Amino acid sequence: MEKQDLKAVMDVKDLFFTYPGAPEPTLKKNNLTIYKNKITALIGPSGCGKSTLLRAMNRIHDLYPGAQYEGKIDLLNPETDKMENLLDLQKEDELIGLRQRVGMIFQKPTPFPMSIYDNVAYGLKLSGLKNKSELDGRVEKALKDAAIWKEAKDRLKESALGLSGGQQQRLCIARSVALKPEILLFDEPTSALDPISTGAIEELITELKKDITVAIVTHNMQQASRLSDYTTFMYLGDIIEFDETEKIFVNPSVKLTEEYITGRFG
């Protein structure tokens, strides 16, 4: 692997993760590096732990008490240029800060039951932004960045629930982008969408990587190969192989990876 102009923004080191009440860890000694302004895909059969790993990256697991982490997930602090272990964060406001830096898009679109404008402004208001004209500007910019401004600009005050599924998902991306996160985590963002909406979201994710680092869980092998720069293949809680996407899809070094990619199992 060539790594000259690559900068790691997140480094998962020997990570074990156990769900509340589960007898055994779901993730076993995972190691993975997420590079700045690259798209990293996590693939693998259902139940392999790819969503679990993604959800560890912004500690959303902590919503359900009893989740246990072991190991480290280092996150680059852009101010000091040093890596800091995000598993050390304990207080609620520290976790809130983490989630503002590491955003997340879910499988099903999750518009809040409020207007389109308020959906995008919600996170901004939470982060303390109150100035109306600044809010307006940030909302417009986010909607433009998420390629939904044209459809939304005349109905900003209307309920977000009236949008189509694909539009709702782009709104959710706009909502996250508005916070200017360093990393965006996508958990199968197109599996509930039709092919045209899927195309629009994929195009959008490719656009986003200019400013934001992306990690994406997907069941769709074509999507992983189309979108990503790096691919991680996971199986039964282990990371089997992590490499450049081209390498993984053309010439994987582990036999299991090849079998999965060629569709022999999974």
Partner 1 sequence: MNRLVLNKVVLTLSTISALIGIGFLFWILITLSYKGIASIQLSTFTNDLVEGGIRNLLVGQFTMALMATFIAVPLGVLAGIYLREYGENSRMTSIIRSLSDVMTSAPSIVIGVFVFALMVEPFGTYNGWAGVVALAIMMVPIIIGTTDNMLALVPKELREAGIALGGSKKQVIMQIVLKAAKVGVTTGILLSFARIIGETAPLLFTSANNQFFSMDLTDQFPSLTVSIYNLATYPDEASRELAWAASFILTAIVLFINLVGRYVTRHKQ
β-pair partners for 143 = none
Of the candidates 74, 218, 75, 45, the residue with the CA atom closest to the CA atom of residue 205:
218
- Which of residues 82 and 125 has its CB atom nearest to partner 1 in the complex? 125
Q: Work out which of 113, 131, 154, 196 binds partner 1, going by CB under 8 A.
A: 113
By CB under 8 A, tell whether 176 contacts partner 1.
yes
Instruction: Let me know: does 146 contact 173? Beta carbons within 8 Å.
Output: yes
Applying CB under 8 A, the site for partner 1 has a residue count of 27
What is the rounded end-to-end Cα distance, in angstroms, of the chain? 27
CB of 104 to partner 1, least distance (A): 4
Q: How far is the CB of 28 from partner 1 (least distance, A)?
A: 24
Return the number of the residue (1 or 63) whose C-beta is nearest partner 1: 63
> How far, in Å, CA of 54 to CA of 263, rounded?
23
* Piece in contact with partner 1 (CB under 8 A), picked from 26-34, 103-111, 140-148, 207-215: 103-111
Q: Which residue among 77, 85, 127, 253 contacts partner 1 (CB under 8 A)? A: 127
| Shortest Å, Cβ 105 to partner 1 | 8
The reply on whether position 68 binds partner 1 by CB under 8 A is: no
Determine the Cα–Cα distance for residues 257 and 253; give it in Å rounded to an integer. Answer: 8
149 binds partner 1 (CB under 8 A): no
Of 6, 8, 37, 107, the one binding partner 1 by CB under 8 A: 107
Query: With binding defined as CB under 8 A, does residue 19 bind partner 1?
Result: no
> Residue 147's closest CA among 208, 58, 98?
208
**What six digits make up the tokens of 255?**
């036999």
- Smaller CB separation from partner 1, 96 or 250: 96
58 lines the binding site for partner 1 (CB under 8 A): yes
Q: Which stretch binds partner 1 (CB under 8 A): 39-47, 105-113, 133-141, 251-259?
A: 105-113
Is 216 among the residues that bind partner 1 (CB under 8 A)? no
The residue whose two tokens read 């100035």 is 131
Chain residues in the site for partner 1 (CB under 8 A): 58, 60, 63, 65, 92-93, 96-97, 99-100, 103-104, 106-108, 110, 112-114, 122-123, 126-127, 172, 175-176, 179
